[in-house]
Structure 1
């Protein structure tokens, strides 16, 4: 009975399956398709260059043994690497990879000897010039569940995080979206989930990354024509943790690529953990198809900690630093700093530093001085919503009128001022500002800012508007 490509490859798979981990087999061998068998050379099709390079790096020996068992010592392996100009292109072409360099050539197969030297992986985390094929988790081991103290303000999010860590991809909390204001512990909890999973499941590939860095990597991949390698790299992650996902706002290309990665991970039972400064319903300039997927799992809010939780956080911080402090001072700090955990810990660090550097005893009076300075120096975040409220109040109109389509001069000017101050006082994109102030586009915001600048220099009354509102927003 003559051998076929499929029968030879199926026999190879039986041997490989018995000799590697089930998850590795599923990830790296199930997607391979046997194409043809010619002159003792088996041609197999793999999804991307990254895929081929990973096989060569990690499984070349077992491939050689399996193929030699089937075809003898003269066996050769030919990779057909499916390449696509754009994600989802229906007309793939294959890539020829000579031993010295690589060029994309349509409809040509590739003869790659089994003892071929492995090449450097297209891993976005590899530093150029440094060989490093391991995918580092990018996790901070100092962020753990042990030092993330539970309270009414964070109980749901913490409990969901523990459930995900115990059974990643196996709960209904997929994705798990943790949201809340700055300094409440979103990043801490995200790291804690990843750290706990790595402890429980060392074989799983866990990756933490900020949405900003993810975007930068994607831009770099597009520049280098490595978009598909970038996608495939993220599709092999078992637990993907993306911090500050609201940063994807207005970035349609990055949102599109993340959409495909998210779908692949979710469909294959991989865990996705996201953090954001707002709930999905409040996210601006994020595509609806992505927002709907964020809502598939659980959205858990981190709220400002109550007094008891703030006291516990301070005591835990002091215990970890080996510092003893009277309860009355701890209570005083907890009562007066209510905004977030970061500021709370910052105040206690400042108090300890002042005491240590100036060789003063930690007293209630010293605590009062520190807290007063700390609160005074902590700037309140100015949001687009707050700016609209201030401008509306100043011109004695409601926010609905400010955002309306009317072309009445005084309302148009109020709306333009709101856009001007949103650009000045927030980090929001022009598209995001326009979307939140009456669903306008970025060009309208740009025109508004130029108009305000022009009127400020030519119209005395208008300049007074700008000065008055600036004072109100700077308080």
Structure 2
């Protein structure tokens, strides 16, 4: 069998996969593409300069070992970094090309000419009638890196945040997009980065704003005919933090103006930090040219904290509040509230409050009562409609397709998964589930549940579908 770039790389991947964590493998090795094999030099294509730097810093040893096994002691690895220009045409180049060429690719961005270059800009954050040239950061000083505890679930995002805070606009993490579910700390981390930058660089203009407020300001600027002032105001910001950027979905005017603001800031070495409840690949109704820019830097996911991290969060919260609590009670709360940090801290606050107001000692029994009530009150009601939405979003199809009569394999599997989760998470009868998911009968639902059970134990990819959707429904 002839040796190809792909066969060599596949063998390397098999070795790497056995020696690193599954999440790390998925994040740092699955996106890599084998390009060519020249003698003992393997060329691989990576999505960004940051990607290349991360591999060199964290995985150079395992790459060397795996490649030497395949190609001998003279093995070499050549990186090809794939960038995207303004018009979406992909232009690959290798790391050996001077950095000036890299900036030339990005300098094709088109900026909006401003008619009004007056220094007296209208500040969207100033109350009408009150003159104020100072731009307040809108940051919450209570959100800091000190009280954002590190764990496996957030290590990449937190480390990238610290790097950005140390050198805003001077790292490959630009933009830095932090994404994850509700209550996992996206807003906290975004504020922490801003607060740290203000401490280190008091002269820099840092601004935090929600995408919703940004949109409203833009609408007001258009109504008052001062769109250029709005753009120019945002172009003088050194560090722009936009929270919940997915809110821009479907708002073409706001997306267009943000596109030009982003280009100006990026070209001038200013830092952009974004948060979102989903990864760029999962964002709906966001222009492709904007999504391509979101991918220029680093997209870092915040995941549900593991047990050890949940314990650390609770202990840190208690320490800050000056409260002591037995270890077994902390462990009990951490074991039973797994969804997110916000609910975890909410439960411990409720426990302290109940103990204080009712002058009761904090015991396991009291913790059990509080946690049960808390979980019951905070758990989202899962409906069949909601399950269908989660499943169809996961497979990137609409609900009508999910419910259709088609026998295409991937659609049938999505439909069977929806039925399986409807039986698992609701009290509806099989007949009711079938009726709501494409007007099927109870026998079809029963068959679907059996099929999902069988495939979960025999098909690795299908098992991953079940695990991913379970996580989404459990948030």
TM class by shorter chain equals 0.5 to 0.7
Q: 1:185 to 1:13 in 2, by over 3 A?
A: closer
CA separation in 2, counterparts of 1:376 and 1:405? 37
Residue 333 of structure 1 is matched in structure 2 by 333
- Specify whether residues 91 and 139 from structure 1 end up closer, same or farther in structure 2 by C-alpha distance, changes over 3 A only: same
Show the counterpart of 2:352: 352
Check conservation: 2:176, 2:273, Cα contact below 8 A.
yes
- Look at both structures and tell me which one has the larger radius of gyration over its CA atoms: 1
**Do the aligned residues in 1 keep the contact of 2:311 with 2:334 (CA within 8 Å)?**
yes
The answer (yes or no) to whether the contact 1:77–1:112 under 8 Å persists in 2 is no
SS of the residue corresponding to residue 209 of structure 2 reads strand
Change (3 A) 1:428 1:162: farther
TM-score w.r.t. length of structure 1: 0.60
- Would the alpha carbon gap of residues 300 and 315 (structure 1) be closer, same or farther in structure 2, given more than 3 Å must change? same
**Post-superposition offset of 1:74:** 76
C-alpha change, 1:10 and 1:430, in structure 2 (3 Å) is: closer
Shift in Å, 1:228: 0.5
Give structure 2 stretches of 5+ with no counterpart. Answer: none
Partner of 2:252: 252
Report the alpha carbon displacement of residue 43 of structure 1 after superposing the two structures with TM.
Answer: 56
Distance 1:268 1:310 in 2: 40
Q: Give the whole-Å Cα distance in 1 for the aligned partners of 2:71 and 2:464.
A: 86
* Unpaired segments ≥5 residues, structure 1: none
1:391 positional shift: 9.4
| Partner secondary structure for residue 111 of structure 1 | coil
1:272 positional shift: 0.2
> Shift in Å at residue 5 of structure 1?
62
The alpha carbon displacement at 1:132 in A equals 1.8
Q: 1:97·1:103 contact (CA, 8 Å) conserved in 2?
A: no
Tell me how far 1:130 sits from its aligned partner. 2.3
Query: Structure 1: how far apart are the matches of 2:204 and 2:422?
Result: 43
Q: Deviations over 1:402-459 (max 9, x none)?
A: 2769799999999999999999999999999999999999999999999999999999
Deviation at 1:160, TM superposition (A): 0.1
- Structure 1 residues 442 and 248: CA distance shift in structure 2, 3 A: farther
Q: Structure 1 residue 128: deviation in Å? A: 1.6
Paired positions, count:
475
Checking the alignment, whether the CA contact within 8 Å between 1:94 and 1:108 is kept in structure 2 is no
* Distance (Å, rounded) in 1 between the aligned partners of 2:83 and 2:455: 55
Equivalent pair of 1:150/1:158 in contact (CA under 8 Å): yes
In 2, Cα distance between the equivalents of 1:13 and 1:458? Answer: 23
Contact 1:84 1:93 in 2 (8 A): no
Q: Deviations over 1:108-158 (max 9, x none)?
A: 999999999999740000012322221000000010001100000000000
TM-aligned CA distance change 1:69 to 1:201, over 3 Å: farther
- Does the 8 Å CA contact 1:64/1:114 hold for their aligned counterparts? no
Q: Secondary structure at the match of 2:241?
A: strand
In structure 2, relative to structure 1, the CA distance for the partners of 1:8 and 1:282 (3 Å cut) is: closer
Cα pair distance change 1:227/1:443, threshold 3 Å: farther
Classify the secondary structure of the residue corresponding to 1:77.
Answer: strand
Aligned-residue offset at 1:380:
2.2
> Which residue number corresponds to residue 317 of structure 2?
317
Query: Conserved in 1, the CA contact under 8 Å of 2:208 and 2:242?
Result: yes
Note the C-alpha offset of 1:98.
51
Deviations 1:190-243 (CA, angstroms, capped at 9, x unpaired): 000000000000110000000000000000000000101000000000000000
| Cα distance in 1 between the residues matched to 2:18 and 2:416 | 68
Counterpart CA distance in 2 for 1:438 and 1:357 is 52
Deviations 1:18-63 (A, max 9, x none): 9999999999999999999999999999999999999999999999
Any idea what the Cα deviations from partners look like across 1:161-181, whole Å, max 9, x if unmatched?
Answer: 000000000000000000000
Q: CA RMSD in A?
A: 20.3
CA separation in 2, counterparts of 1:454 and 1:63?
37
Give the TM-score of the pair, scaled to structure 2: 0.60
Deviations 1:69-108 (A, max 9, x none): 9999999999999999999999999999999999999999
- 8 Å CA contact 1:208–1:241 kept in 2: the answer is yes
Displacement after TM superposition at 1:468 (Å): 25
Alpha carbons 1:164, 1:173 under 8 Å: kept: yes
Q: In 2 relative to 1, CA 97–206 (structure 1 residues): closer, same or farther, beyond 3 Å?
A: same
